[in-house]
């Protein structure tokens, strides 16, 4: 076999490994009775698990809350990280290096490790389990990567444009919202996508911080629905719920891949 065929075979093998859980989730989600051995392809496809899942009130509340919290968190993230990115890219100030180093260090500390003090601080501040508390927390997950993204994007803005704006009398504030932000539309989409998917996917904080059923987030609600039986696990909910969780990502891959690639490139990942 030629080297090229080998290469494609290995890549295909890894693609199969990557897609296997997705295929299996999809396959099982359409089987009304999940009995061993399950069908490799659903013989009588049924929407049974999907209709059951959306009839669970807790799950619906979770989806609505998660959409709300994730959208607001993503909007907040884009607003404040464009501001910070603008300052890092275009303004002169003392302590730039040390503050940027701080952002890098924050990127290195996994947020999961902070859950005990944040639980305690939120309790002290009286925002434990509130939606606003979760918005604060979730916009934070994307802050470092979005700051890198916007800083790098703003660095590519032509100096001549900025200089002519200064000559036209655009001040430090006007340049932010009249020049940099309007020029950064693709990056804004990328940053929004990043922040949204962090918030929508988050699991550990969601399942720990929120105890009030009316404020529950989707991942936590789904977990509860799956494990609600005392001795049994609801595999149908596991499969259909995972599909719901994955939908935004699939939408992003289908329609926003250009922005995703841009974001990965500028966010320093790629």
Q: Considering the rule CB under 8 A, would residue 140 count as an interface residue with other proteins? A: yes
DSSP string, 102-126: HHHHHHHS-GGGGHHHHHHHHHHHT
Closest by Cα among 233, 250, 251 to 28: 233
Kindly tell me which residue out of 5, 41, 93, 160 binds other proteins, with binding defined by CB under 8 A. 93
| Number of residues that make up the chain | 270
What is the C-alpha separation between 249 and 196, in angstroms, rounded?
10
Tokens standing for 209?
A: 């911080």
Give the dihedral of Cα atoms 143, 144, 150, 155; nearest 10 deg.
160
Q: Which stretch binds other proteins (CB under 8 A): 57-65, 67-75, 184-192, 197-205?
A: 197-205
Considering only residues 33-62, where is the footprint of other proteins by CB under 8 A?
34-38, 40
Residues 209-228 that bind other proteins (CB under 8 A): 219, 222-223, 226
Minimum distance, C-beta of residue 200 to other proteins, in the bound complex (Å): 7
CB atoms within 10 A of CB 260: 19
The window from 44-52, 53-61, 137-145, 184-192 that contacts other proteins (CB under 8 A) reads: 137-145
Query: Mask of contacts with other proteins, 157-186, x by CB under 8 A?
Result: ------x--x----xx---x----------
Query: What's the first-to-final CA gap in the chain, in angstroms?
Result: 32
Written as six digits, the tokens of 252 are 């992003």
- Minimum separation from the CB atom of position 213 to other proteins (A): 18
Q: For residue 207, what are its two tokens? A: 């399942």
197 is a site residue for other proteins (CB under 8 A): yes
Minimum distance of other proteins from residue 249's CB (angstroms): 5
| Total residues in contact with other proteins, by rule CB under 8 A | 92
Integer Cα distance of 264 and 186 in angstroms: 12
DSSP 39: P
Stretch that binds other proteins, among 13-21, 42-50, 55-63, 67-75 (CB under 8 A): 13-21
The stretch near other proteins (CB under 8 A) out of 47-55, 67-75, 143-151, 183-191 is 143-151
Contact status: 132 vs other proteins (CB under 8 A): no
């Amino acid at each position: 076999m030629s080297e090229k065929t080998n290469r494609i075979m290995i890549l295909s093998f890894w693609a199969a490994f990557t897609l296997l859980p997705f295929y299996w989730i999809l396959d099982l989600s359409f089987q009304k009775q999940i009995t061993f051995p399950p069908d490799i392809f659903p013989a009588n496809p049924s929407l049974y698990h999907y209709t059951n899942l959306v009839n669970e009130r807790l799950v619906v509340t979770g989806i609505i809350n998660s959409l709300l919290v994730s959208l607001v968190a993503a909007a907040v993230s884009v607003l404040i990280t464009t501001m910070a990115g603008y300052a890092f890219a275009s303004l002169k100030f003392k302590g730039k290096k040390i503050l940027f180093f701080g952002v890098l260090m924050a990127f290195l500390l996994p947020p999961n490790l902070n859950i005990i003090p944040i639980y305690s601080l939120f309790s002290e501040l009286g925002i434990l389990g509130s939606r606003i508390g979760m918005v604060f927390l979730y916009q934070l997950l994307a802050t470092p990567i979005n700051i890198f993204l916007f800083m790098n994007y703003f660095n590519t803005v032509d100096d001549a444009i900025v200089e002519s704006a200064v000559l036209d009398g655009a001040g430090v504030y006007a340049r932010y919202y009249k020049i940099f932000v309007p020029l950064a539309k693709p990056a804004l989409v990328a940053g929004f996508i990043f922040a949204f998917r962090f918030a929508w996917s988050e699991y550990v904080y969601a399942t720990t911080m929120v105890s009030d059923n009316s404020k529950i987030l989707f991942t936590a609600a789904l977990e509860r629905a799956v494990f609600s039986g005392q001795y049994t696990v609801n595999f149908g909910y596991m499969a259909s719920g995972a599909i719901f969780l994955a939908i935004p990502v699939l939408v992003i891959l289908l329609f926003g891949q250009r922005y995703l690639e841009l974001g990965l490139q500028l966010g320093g990942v790629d």
